Amino acid sequence: MATPLSGHHVAVLMGGLSSEREVSLVSGRECADALERLGAKVTRVDAGRDLAQVLAALKPDVCFNALHGEWGEDGCVQGVLETLGLPYTHSGVLASALAMDKAKAKAVLAAAGVTVPGGGLFNRFEAARDHVMAPPYVVKPNAEGSSVGVFLVFEGANRPPQEIVAPGWTFGEEVMIEPYIAGKELAVGVMDGKAMTVTDIIPRTGFYDYEAKYADGGSTHVVPAPIPHHAFEKAMELAERAHAALGCRGVTRADLRYDDVKDVLVLLEVNTQPGMTPTSLVPEQAAQQGVDFDRLVLWITEDAYARGGAGRDKA
């Protein structure tokens, strides 16, 4: 019996070199399993510095990019795939690079009318010496995902987080510092330019850090989010506008904060390759819309095919 991807060779790029390697291995495994159920011939590729040579030898029909974080999600791997002329999933070089750079993304989003937090980039040693803004505020690397290296500085804190000047810090010399927005953590998946729904994320620890995102029971997801209708619609609109402003394609996920006391909604960032793990938000939202995991993976793969050849940025 014919299956949707019979006769198609898909290389699933997973693992990689970033701090999000372990999450990417899980995303890649889940997507590869789904692609096999859909009838594809699947090669699981643990992406390393020899990626170009590996793919040149494999000659897949399409690459499913399940990498997360630096190198795999910031335009670098996308550039390799463009050079090889291989169709690939998710956003292209420009959108990937823009979305990963929080400072540049905020400038583009603000120009497009998307409400973003204040703050800016600071040298990490300056930021560790004294408060560069009145607490509460958030300190984060400028080009990491999955809440890696993120610190919340509470009101009344005596000093900034010293981890940012520790010898093991590997996230660059500048850190993004933003005022902390109290309230709810929201997420909106965008598929083919259209927002799916809004999820209210309730972290077990009180802060949506790496463990809250990926550990079993680390957070509770309420879909659809129980927030006022106007805020729900605004979150969907901001996610769609951000997706378009950055030039994204395929599936993305926007992360937002909603202060339900002051009725203030801000968009924190756009993830161009959202997680596809058992606890991930986008598959959960798709399922709530009647699109099961296999159909979601199929759509993402077919979307890459539809662009023909390497999917170049049009911007």
Entry pTM: 0.90
Does 253 participate in catalysis according to the annotation? yes
Whole-angstrom Cα distance, residue 202 to residue 208? 8
Q: For residue 90, what pLDDT is reported? A: 97
Query: Which residues of the chain fall below pLDDT 70?
Result: 1-2, 145-147, 205-218, 308-315
- Position 308 scores a pLDDT of 60
**Given 250, 253, 257, 284, which residue is catalytic?**
253
Task: Report the candidate in 183, 290, 283, 198 with the shortest Cα–Cα distance to residue 238.
Answer: 198
Supply the pLDDT for residue 217.
61
pLDDT, residue 111, reads 97
The verdict on whether 271 is a catalytic residue reads: yes
How far apart CA 268 and CA 149 sit, in angstroms, is 16
Q: Choose, from 275, 284, 303, 311, the residue flagged as catalytic.
A: 275
Judge contact between 27 and 293, C-beta under 8 A: no
* Type and span of the H or E element at 176: strand 174-179
What is the C-alpha to C-alpha distance for residues 237 and 193, in angstroms, rounded to an integer? 11
Q: What is the pLDDT of residue 26?
A: 96
Structure confidence at residue 315 (pLDDT): 38
Residue 134 exposed, middle or buried by CB count within 10 Å (0-12, 13-18, 19+): exposed
Provide the pLDDT for residue 215: 53
Q: Does the annotation mark 163 as catalytic? A: no
309 noted as active-site residue: no
Which residue among the candidates 15, 16, 20, 284 is catalytic per the annotation?
20
Q: Do residues 68 and 273 touch, judged by C-beta distance below 8 A?
A: yes
Residue 275 designated active-site:
yes
Among 30, 70, 209, 269, which one carries the catalytic annotation?
A: 269
Query: Is 219 among the catalytic positions?
Result: no
DSSP-assigned states of every residue in 224-280: S--S-HHHHHHHHHHHHHHHHHTT--SEEEEEEEEETTTTEEEEEEEESS---STT-
Catalytic-role residue among 255, 284, 303, 313 = 255
120 is known as an active-site residue: no
The structural domains of the chain, ordered by start, are: 9-90 (3.40.50.20), 98-115+182-288 (3.30.470.20), 120-179 (3.30.1490)
Which member of 119, 271, 280, 284 is catalytic? 271
Q: At which residue do the structure tokens 């080009």 appear?
A: 143
- Mapping DSSP to helix (H, G, I), strand (E, B) and coil, where does residue 56 land? helix
The one-letter amino acid at 40:
A
Active-site annotation holds for 91: no
